[in-house]
């Protein structure tokens, strides 16, 4: 089997140009709320074949961090909402860093820790009160351990923290959240960390398809919308949302904080009442977004600041609760096949996830069949030469 993996690695190297790339500054969310996902060691090969060098986790899974050692992939790791109270204790915060960051950071690039996810748009006011102290506790621990220059600390917010999002020049945070956000922004300014938002134009379209243009949310050609205060033209909702966040931050007195999109995506399937959830729309959203990001341009209000995006998600996750769409955001099925064609990466690249769901106990016959399939194009190439 070790020989087989070496052969597969050679194939990946030879055929990388055929697969295309999803890299160049674009990250991917690697969620694991599922019981059928491939081993992290297999996912390494998939991401290498896609030239994907930035991954965001929702935890600090040691199996993933170990598998990606010496891979040159940068990781955002996460502290779940259930850890917030503990992280307000300096001793527990430092212990967590010592157990979940220090053992891996010498070989696996960990560049960020997200403390909680979408806390401020939840209903738990106790968690809201823990959020900033937890961020401060984690940051202080990194300082104590000499890691604060390598790893920054932030949290991910839902775009729902905005009370007003259009026009972008009138972007404003919800008044009831201002007391929390003001202090969090001061933390970002002091530590040089970015402000993260999870932004899904899909939800705006689903909730109001009669008023929201599908072309506008899918980055397709459309007349666009002009901000009456700035005369800036917006031809897609995501960039308008990003600029609305920048405006809201500026209104609170900060111009030195970068906004990054920690999640965005489109479901390939949904329930009957989830208008717009389809493989065609997901393909358009992600393909157009990737093409736009690779131009290395900014938003209309921040043209010199390249947009930083983490696409949601790498795999469909079959155990996620909620409507069907929640389980169908993945670019890939767990068996390694693409859910839909995306750019230059076609469904035929399904073999780039090595041995999906085949453990080392797999039969020799299955392994040989798998590699015969992969070797066909290389065989043709050798014959042609």
What six digits make up the tokens of 201? 């134009």
Q: Kindly list the distances between the CA atom of residue 240 and the CA atoms of 80, 312, 335, in Å, as whole numbers in the listed order.
A: 29, 19, 36
Verify whether residue 263 is a known catalytic residue.
Answer: yes
DSSP structure string for 107-156: TSEEEEEEEEES-TTSS-HHHHHHHHHHHHHHHHHHHHTT-TTT-EEEEE
| Strand-pair partners of 75 | 55, 110
Alpha carbon distance 213, 217 (integer Å): 7
Backbone angles phi, psi at 176, to 5 degrees: -70, -15
Nearest residue to 226 (alpha-carbon basis) of 172, 173, 171, 166: 166
Nearest residue to 147 (alpha-carbon basis) of 189, 106, 194: 106
Q: Kindly list the distances between the CA atom of residue 120 and the CA atoms of 88, 125, 263, in Å, as whole numbers in the listed order.
A: 17, 8, 16
The span from the first CA to the last CA of the chain, in angstroms, equals 29
Catalytic member of 263, 274, 317, 326: 263
Verify whether residue 220 is a known catalytic residue.
Answer: no
Alpha carbon distance 316, 357 (integer Å): 15
| β pairing state of 162-164 and 172-173 | antiparallel
Catalytic member of 74, 82, 85, 118: 118
Active-site residue list: 118, 263
């Amino acid at each position: 089997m070790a020989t087989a993996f070496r052969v597969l690695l050679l194939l990946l190297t030879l055929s990388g140009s055929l697969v295309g790339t999803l890299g160049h500054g674009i990250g991917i969310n690697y969620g694991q709320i599922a019981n059928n996902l491939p081993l992290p060691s297999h996912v390494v090969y998939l991401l290498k074949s896609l030239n994907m060098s930035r991954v965001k986790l929702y935890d600090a899974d040691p199996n993933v961090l170990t598998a990606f050692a010496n891979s040159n992939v940068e990781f955002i790791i996460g502290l779940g909402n259930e850890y917030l109270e503990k992280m307000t204790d300096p001793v527990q915060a430092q212990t967590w860093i010592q157990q979940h960051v220090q053992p891996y950071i010498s070989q696996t690039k960990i560049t960020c820790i997200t403390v909680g996810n979408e806390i401020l748009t939840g209903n738990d006011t106790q968690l809201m009160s823990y959020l900033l102290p937890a961020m401060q506790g984690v940051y202080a621990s990194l300082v104590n351990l000499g890691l604060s220059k390598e790893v920054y600390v932030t949290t991910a917010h839902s775009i729902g923290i905005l009370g007003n999002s259009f026009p972008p020049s009138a972007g404003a945070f919800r008044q009831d959240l201002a007391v929390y956000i003001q202090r969090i922004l001061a933390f970002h300014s002091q530590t040089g960390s970015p402000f993260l938002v999870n932004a899904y134009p899909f939800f705006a379209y689903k909730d109001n398809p009669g008023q929201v243009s599908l072309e506008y949310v899918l980055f397709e050609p459309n007349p666009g919308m002009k901000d009456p205060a700035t005369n800036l033209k917006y031809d897609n909702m995501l960039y308008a949302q990003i600029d609305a966040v920048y405006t809201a931050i500026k209104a609170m007195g900060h111009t030195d904080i970068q906004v990054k999109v920690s999640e965005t995506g489109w479901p390939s399937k949904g329930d009957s009442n989830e208008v717009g959830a389809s493989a065609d729309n997901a393909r358009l959203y992600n393909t157009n977004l990737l093409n736009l990001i690779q131009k290395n341009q900014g938003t209309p209000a921040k043209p010199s600041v390249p947009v930083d995006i983490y696409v949601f998600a790498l795999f469909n996750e079959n155990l996620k609760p909620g409507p069907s769409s929640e389980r169908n955001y993945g670019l890939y099925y767990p068996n390694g096949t693409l859910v839909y064609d995306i750019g230059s990466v076609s469904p035929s690249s399904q073999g780039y996830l090595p041995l999906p769901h085949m453990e080392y106990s797999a039969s020799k016959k299955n392994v040989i069949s798998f590699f015969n399939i992969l070797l066909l194009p290389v065989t043709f190439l050798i014959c042609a030469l």
